[in-house]
Amino acid sequence: MAYVVTDACHGCRYTECVTVCPVECFHLDEQMTYIDPENCIDCGGCAPICPVGAIHPSWQMPAGKGEWVEINRLRAAETPVIAAKIAPLPGADAQAGRLAS
């Protein structure tokens, strides 16, 4: 069990989520963030913070998003930890607007 970032994060990278993770278990590549399921303590703090609702608990994945559980596990192992907020990607606002509507 762990929390899982889905493709709704793709191209956003506000990284608001990262600042409230008590155990620094977010990882990052050029596209999006991933949660390391080995370290996540299921505090649930990140999910309501994400402006696009990209984060879900692995035991309650939305329909069609199940594959992201495994993708997070794999990509978290291959990518660096991100512990502090970074500047959003250009176009992040458009992405947030599109997903919120």
Partner 1 sequence: MSAPHRIAVVGSGPAGFYAAEALLRSGVPVSVDLFERLPAPFGLVRFGVAPDHPKLKQVTAVFDRIAGLPGFRFVGGIEVGADVSIPELSVCYHAVILANGASLDRRMGIPGEDLAGSHQAGAFIGWYNGHPDAAGLSFDLSAERAVVIGHGNVALDVARILLKTPDELRHTDIAAHALDALAESRIREVQIVGRGGVARARFSPKELGEFGALADCATGLDPDDLPDGIPEPPIDAGAEARANAAILRGFAEAQGGTGKRRRCLIRFGLEPVRLAGEGRVDSLHLRRPGSDATLALTCGLVVASIGRRTAPVAGIPYDERAGVHANLGGRIQADGVPVPGLYACGWSKRGPHGTIGTNRACGVETAAAVLADLAGLPAPIGNADALVASLAKRIGQTIDYAAWRRIEAAETARGRASGKPREKFVTRAEMLAVAAAAA
Ligand X SMILES: Cc1cc2nc3c(=O)[nH]c(=O)nc-3n(C[C@H](O)[C@H](O)[C@H](O)COP(=O)(O)OP(=O)(O)OC[C@H]3O[C@@H](n4cnc5c(N)ncnc54)[C@H](O)[C@@H]3O)c2cc1C
One residue of 4, 8, 12, 46 binding partner 1 per CB under 8 A:
46
Q: Which stretch binds ligand SF4 (CB under 6 A): 10-18, 58-66, 68-76?
A: 10-18
What one-letter code names the amino acid at 89? L
Contact call for residue 76 and ligand SF4 (CB under 6 A): no
Q: Which helix (H) or strand (E) holds 51?
A: none
Q: In whole angstroms, give the CA distance from residue 34 to residue 1.
A: 14
Binding flag, residue 94, ligand X (CB under 6 A): no
d(CA 101, CA 91): 16
Residues found near partner 1 in the complex (CB under 8 A): 19-24, 41-46, 48, 53, 57, 84
